[in-house]
Structure formats: C-alpha cells, structure tokens
Structure 1
Amino acid sequence: MKKLEKVSFDIDRIMDGDYSTISNIDEEGILSRLESQFCQMSRRLQLSIDSINIEKEEVKSLVTDISHQIRTPLASIKMFNSLLIEGGLTKGEKEEFLERVKDEVEKLEWLANSLVKISTTESGMIQIKKEKEDVKQTILEAVNGVYLEALEKNIDINMSNLESIYVYHDFRWTKEAIFNILDNAVKYTDENGQINISMEKLETYIKIDIEDNGIGIPSKDIGKIFDRFYRGDSEKAKKAEGSGIGLYLARNILEEQGGGLIVSSEEGQGSKFTILITLQNY
C-alpha cells in the first residue's frame, strides 16, 4: 500500500509541474519498476523543461538586441525625413540625407532577414534538396554576395585551386552556408586585409578552406562560436553587425548534407574555416 501511495504521490507531483528527480529504487517487483520508470520520465521531463527555458532566454535576449538595433535606424530615418519635409536644404544635403535614409532602410532589411533565418532554423523548415551541381560555381556565387562589402574595406579575396567538380549538394543552402562564413570573415577582418579561399578534392570529401587575417577568435570562445545567437565579447566583435546565427546556420546546413565545418584560429592572427562536402552520391 505504501508503494502505491508513493507512486500516486509521484504522479501528483509531476502533474503539478514538479519534475525534480524521484529517489532511485533499489527494490525489485512491478511497483518498484513502475516507480523507477516514473523516476526516468521525471528526469527527462526536467531536462526538456530546462532546455526550453534556456532557449526562451536566448530568444528573449536576441529579440531585445534586435529591438534595440531597430530603434536606432528608425530614429535616424524619422529625423532625416523631418529635415527633408521642412525644406531649406541644399541639393547636396538632400542627396546626403536620402543616401543616409537608404542605408538605414538596408539595415532594417538585414535585421528582418535575420529574423526570418532564425525562424527557419528554429522551426526545422530547412529542407535539403541535393542535386549534382558544380561546387566551384556554388563558391563563386557566395563570393559575389560579399564582394561589395569586401571592396568597401579594401579586402582582397584570393581564390586558388578552384576547379569544376560536380557533386550532390543543395546549391541554395550550401551557398548560404559559404556566404555566412565569408560574411563573417569580412566583418571581422580590418581594412586592407586578406581572405584566401582554396579547394581540394579528398578521398571522401571536397575540402574548402576560407582563411582570413582578421581579429581571430579567443581560445575561450572557440567552443561557443557555433552556438545559436553567440557573439564574441571583444570590442571589435561587439561593433560588428550581426545576429550570431550565421555560423550556427552554416554548420547545420553542412551537417544536414553529411558534411561538416571545422574552425582553427588564434586571437589577433586570423581564422580558418574548413568546409567539408561529402562526395557520396545521395
């Protein structure tokens, strides 16, 4: 009877939202096994709840950060718009203010795109469709996406050993992954820097190295850079625009296709990201 009362108590506790660990059971018998199963279920529920709470905090932090970033360009647009409406500006001033408004609108668009990518990642909506495509072309398309940003900072993007190799991969999402890595490299590389891209065909993978001479990654952060929403603590890292999802998304995309993403870096010396794309035909 005491056993039944204990099991009933445990059930009531779980139903009331208390998922704390139930004491381990050493005795044998049906009731003991039942109580043990409740113990295991309770632990799993608690782990799930903890995970959900952590994710909620991460999302809350991100939304707060993006909300703060949105307020700044909106305030700027409002101010420039008011000045343009009031009139009395020279032609040069009008052109400058209109250009500034354009820049702020582009920033808002970038923030909106970040939210869409987060939503896609979190909801598991990334659907990989692998077809036989030229990896070289995938790389070149990704490079085109960061070309202007690199040009503005006078960063040289050097490509070597790129050859047309047709392998099964999702062109769109793989391009997105490579773009995210390149975009990260441009953001964290100072003016007049360099980014080197090379490709090598191995026995089972295509290996793509993207190496920069930027600010590098502190050793304490290496294990965190692929975490969702993570951004570095250094002043340069904080100043660089970003939502902290680019590398997280890149690794997920590559791993979904049987590949991977590896990083090696030294603070102040730059970083190297190694992309692996499987040669298996599936």
Structure 2
Amino acid sequence: MLRNKEFRSFILLFGLLTIVFTIIGWKITEAAGILVLISAVVFGVVFFVFTQKRYESIARISDQIDLVLHNEERLFMEELQEGELSILQSEITKMTQRIREQNDALKREKAHLADSLADVAHQLRTPLTSANLTLSLLENTTDQNERKVLIRETEELLLRMDWLLTSLLKISRLDAGVVMFNNETIVLSTLLENTLRPLAIPMELRNIRIRIEIPEAVRIIGDSGWLAEALQNILKNCMESLDEGGQIDLVCSDNPLFTELAIHDSGPGFRQADLPHLFERFYRGEKDKATGYGIGLALCKMIVTQQNGTITAKNHPQGGALFTLRFPK
C-alpha cells in the first residue's frame, strides 16, 4: 500500500494538516488541541484499516487475473458488497468468461484446422498416387492407343486435383468471411439455364432427362455466380447417383415469405446413416457410386446460408434424393 505514490502523498498532506490544526487548537485551548490530535489519529487509523482492506481485495482480484492469464481452468472470486470494487469484480468476471470462451473456440478451430489439413492431404494423395502410377505406365508403354488412354486419364486426374484445390480455396475464403456477395435481383429460370449449360453434354451422354417447372416471373435476391456454383454442386451430386436414363426434376414454388426450389432425382436416395452428415466437409458416406471428395455439398450449404437462404436434403417419399432450397423475400 505504501508503494503507492498517491497514498504516500496523502499521508504526508494529512500529517501536515494534523500538525497545523493541532497547533491552532492548542493555541485556542489545550483541550481543543488534544481533541484535534485524537480525532486526527482515530480518523487516520480508520482510514488506514479501510484502505488496507480495499488493497487486499484488489490484490486478490489481481491474483485471480494472473491465474486466468496462466490458463487456470477454475476461477473463484469472493462476493464483494455493492460498490466500485463489486462493479470491477463483475466486469472482470465477464471478461474472464469471454476470454475462456474465446480460448475454447480457438482450441476447436485449431483442432478443426489440423483435421482439415489431414483431410486435404489424404484427398490429394489419392489422385497424386494414381497420376504417378499412370505416368509410370505411360513411360513403359509403346502402344499409341494405350498411351492416349493413359494421357487422358492423367489429364482427368489433374483436372480433379485442380477442382479440389479450387473448391478448398473457395471454402477457406467463405470460412474467413472475405467473400462479398452481390445482392442482385436474379430471374430464377435464367439462373438455372446458366447452371445447366456446362452440364448439358455429360447429361446427354448418360441420357439424363431434366424436367423444369419454374414460372418466368419468379425472382430471388443473391449472387448469381455463387448460387450457380451451389446449384451445380447439387446437380452433380444427383448425377452421381443416377443410372443411365435417369431424371432430375427442378420445381419452384413461391409465396410472400420465400421462394422454394426443389431438386429431385430418380436415384436410390440417401442411406439413413448418411442423412445427418450430408453437408459435413469431407463426408462421402458409403455409396458405391461416390466419386467426389465430400466438399461439394459443404460448399453449397456455405454459399446458400451466407446469403440468408436455407438448404435441406432428405429422401423423397416416391424415391430418390430431394434437395430443398429456400430464398427469403
């Protein structure tokens, strides 16, 4: 307590004032001087004891803060009476709670980052291994037709790795919150036409039919480029599950609250065990036809939800998978 410069200055000033008023009182009467001196001593002792207790409370709070800074899991603070220290204690308790929550969040993010890096390494290792094997076969093959086939396979592997890295970059940008979405009015039928155009040839080769029921007047608010990316990922997922000659239905309904787009395929639908995990990153399930990396639907959900929309997936009552997207007015 005496290390406080202000407190030492106060003691010095209080002592000088006590001496001055004691002398003045003594000159008036001896009893007045003694009364002034006794009053000053009593007031000084009471003030010293009271201040000492306040400093002890502050010291205990300081010790608890030091424990927080050293990652102490449990924090105990005694209850103080109403006053400045009680307010200070309440604010420190709130601060420590926020620090603990942020620390827990950072630990979870660190663990998630480590898991994500391991998943990325695993996802890249498979096509890289295949590419290395294909190149080895290409080196030892003299037949021109077989070499063309191997070169085409290598190109496909490189395209898959490029798509994977591009998708991971998009996910990381969305995670970091650096993507600025455009709020533009989009004609939904035009958006679907632009989305389906790159998929037309693969669908035609597999004889997959598309049925669209979307009124021309329906419009939504969002970023057309990112929403086209999300819809393509859904359609690719539907195509993976379809046999040749399958069908995909795109049906729109509109009401004063939201616009709903339902995407239904004629495939086998989802396994019950997969339904809770469909939008989890790197989750691929146990489908025999699964050839993706488990990030398409995760990316799709991030795009839709960050534009205030919702997306769900379930099995259609008549069979097949059903994706439902809702865009608020």
TM-score for the superposition, normalised by structure 2:
0.71
The counterpart of 2:299, out of the listed 249, 258, 261, is: 249
CA distance in 1 between partners of 2:266 and 2:98 (Å):
45
CA distance in 1 between partners of 2:289 and 2:98 (Å):
37
Paired letter, 2:292: E
The counterpart of 2:263, out of the listed 210, 214, 218, is: 210
1:236 aligns to what?
287
Alignment of 1:98 onto 2:98: no
Trace 1:116-195 onto structure 2 (pairs within 5 A).
116-151=169-204, 154-187=207-240, 189-192=241-244, 193-195=246-248
Shifted more, 147-156 versus 172-181: the winner is 147-156
User: CA 1:216–1:268 in 2, change beyond 3 Å: closer, same or farther?
Assistant: farther
* Helix, strand or coil at the partner of 2:153: helix
Show CA shifts across 1:132-167 (max 9, x none): 332111112222344455456554332223425344
User: CA 1:132–1:190 in 2, change beyond 3 Å: closer, same or farther?
Assistant: closer
* Aligned-residue identity in percent: 24
Alignment of 1:111 onto 2:168: no
Show CA shifts across 1:71-125 (max 9, x none): 23223323333343445x2122111111111111111112111221122112112
Segments of 5+ residues of structure 1 without an aligned counterpart are none
Number of aligned residues: 273
CA distance in 2 between partners of 1:215 and 1:93 (Å):
35
Segments of 5+ residues of structure 2 without an aligned counterpart are 1-52
CA distance in 2 between partners of 1:216 and 1:27 (Å):
62
2:94 aligns to what?
40
The counterpart of 1:10, out of the listed 61, 64, 67, is: 64
The counterpart of 2:134, out of the listed 64, 80, 90, is: 80
CA distance in 1 between partners of 2:231 and 2:175 (Å):
20
Is 1:219–1:267's contact at 8 Å kept on the other side of the alignment? no
Is 2:264–2:322's contact at 8 Å kept on the other side of the alignment? yes
Is 1:114–1:243's contact at 8 Å kept on the other side of the alignment? no
Alignment of 1:278 onto 2:325: no
| Structure whose residues are more often helix by fraction | 2
User: CA 1:148–1:113 in 2, change beyond 3 Å: closer, same or farther?
Assistant: farther
Structure index of larger Rg = 2
1:23 aligns to what?
76
User: CA 1:190–1:7 in 2, change beyond 3 Å: closer, same or farther?
Assistant: same
Shifted more, 267-276 versus 123-132: the winner is 267-276
* Helix, strand or coil at the partner of 2:287: helix
Shifted more, 23-32 versus 175-184: the winner is 23-32
Tell which has more relative contact order, 1 or 2 (C-alpha 8 A, sep 6+): 1
Show CA shifts across 1:18-75 (max 9, x none): 3x35236654333233223222222222222222222222232222222122223223
User: CA 1:224–1:84 in 2, change beyond 3 Å: closer, same or farther?
Assistant: closer
Show CA shifts across 1:258-279 (max 9, x none): 4322334379943322222234
User: CA 1:238–1:3 in 2, change beyond 3 Å: closer, same or farther?
Assistant: farther
TM-score for the superposition, normalised by structure 1:
0.81
CA distance in 1 between partners of 2:265 and 2:299 (Å):
20
CA distance in 1 between partners of 2:265 and 2:99 (Å):
44
